[in-house]
Amino acid sequence: MHENPISKEIVDSAFKIHTKLGPGLLESVYEVVLAHELKSRHLRVERQVRVPVEYEGVHFDEGYRLDLLVEDKVIVEIKSIEQIAPVHKKQLLTYLRLMDKKLGLLINFNEELIRNGISRIANGLEDTE
């Protein structure tokens, strides 16, 4: 499955969850519920995936973990904060580059309207399947 239909399922799931639960919960709650919803849609989901870093030929596993990796193609970073800062988008782009992935979604569930809390970050993604 291409990244675009996967991202549509993720966005649809986020809308469903936000409608039922609303804003204001912990990020960990949204993470587990979103993972459950995506699995119910028959998508492969990994939680808290290590982001490896290679520096001068040395491989490091320490450090960062991304929230969700869906179908081994789309990275999802979940927030429940007052406002997304530019650093959050840069962090997701760095994850995409380090993991050699093409698409990431940054979802802030702490918005009154969830559509205002979803950012799509691409890393060389083409729109064709």
pLDDT digits 0-9 by tens, 48-99: 998 888 889 888 877 788 999 999 999 999 999 999 999 999 999 999 998 8
Residue 127: the pLDDT is 58
52 in Cβ contact with 60 (< 8 Å): yes
Query: Domain extents for the chain?
Result: 3-122
Q: Which long-range contacts (CB under 8 A, 24 or more apart) does 57-62 make?
A: none
What predicted TM-score, i.e. pTM, was given to this entire model? 0.90
**Backbone torsions φ then ψ of 85, nearest 5 degrees:** -100, 155
